[in-house]
Structure 1
Amino acid sequence: MTLEKLIETGISLTLPNLTVKALAEELGVSIVAVYNNIDSLDALRTAVAEEILARWEFPIPDADATLEESLMDLSLRLRSLVHRNPGIARYLLDIGTSSPGALARIDEVQMEYSTLYELTPKQANFIVTVVAEHAAALSEMVHVEGREREDDAAVLARSDLKLIPRTIDGKKRDDDSNYEWSMRALIMGASVVIDHPRFSTY
């Protein structure tokens, strides 16, 4: 039983379902055997998350795309990563010096943004980080499959509500379009912020 095999099995199980018992059952070994081959379950979960990120192609901005288009592409790819790998969002939000490989690739991506769009290091770091953080969080918590929909009829029946019923237009908006509109609003706002005179005080 190698660490590589444990990591591969952990990826298959997904991070939320990664337990010593689940590993033992999947590998056909005893719980004791698993414990003898890992430092701790938390350490193994971190190793699994880092391997997921090591296999992911970090999105580099397209030379023919605008800043908004490149950031939108980044947010869509992050959403796909989060939905394919349940539990990875937490690790994306906590990447630091304890994840040297991922941090180096993030640095490379931010440098590309800085060079391509003539952003200062501070501007590039801020806008890429803000977009990535919100993309991961929204993908994990808000725009997910199976989320309960608002009942338009029930909202319209509420006589105490004055404004919200007036926003109901009968259009059916799916998770994808809602996510894209949310992220586009964020990206447009962040683009304004990095050019604001007060940004230098951030």
Structure 2
Amino acid sequence: MLLIIVILAVGFSNIETCPIFCRCYSSFDGFHIACQNAGLYEIPFNLTRFLQTTEHQNLIVDLSLNFLSVLPCNFLQISSIITLILTKNRIESIPLCFSQSSIRMLHLNENQLRFSLATILSSSKLLYLDLSHNHIPYLPRTFFNRLRRLRTLILNGELSLFEKNNDQWIRSLTTRNQLTIIICDENFHVPLCLFNNLFQSNRLLSMELNSLIHCDCSFVYLPL
């Protein structure tokens, strides 16, 4: 009897369960691991372990409202993560190993992102990227060169990226197809002429703006 109890105990100890600081549940869009506002300063080992071993696919991981500043590679490279929400953390950079991730939707709004002149964000999977409200001083000219499948780019609050002599990053969008750029800032003057070549070559599918944004060109745009 004692032997059976020991065997059962060992067996159950290997079963990974949802971390105590998260909520885990299935939904129509995937399996959610919601760890918002958990006071996290780093990605806990038991969370990484759970994500690596769970039988669920299409993982949607929400780590918003924490204090994370570093994204470890063993976490980013978990192939079953398709959506990663990091809103309102302290993320300063995206590691090179992101190129090996399977993440399709990445929410990095309201962090502390800064990029060097040599930074190139690379991914063959990424479809959606939110860089809003990071107050990014500039983006490197080649920043988007290796985001071949990117379809939605959100830049709310990133007004400095559209200033004169600070718009070279737009050149890296020329290899993209069917890209939608979304900007929802009040009383912001959008120099749409910067995107003239993209519109004419059908590289840029649309610009989505709110009704309070002023445009200096006659392009048709989609109000939100």
**In which range does the TM-score fall when normalised by the shorter chain?**
under 0.3
Calculate the TM-score normalised by the size of structure 2: 0.23
Calculate the TM-score normalised by the size of structure 1: 0.25
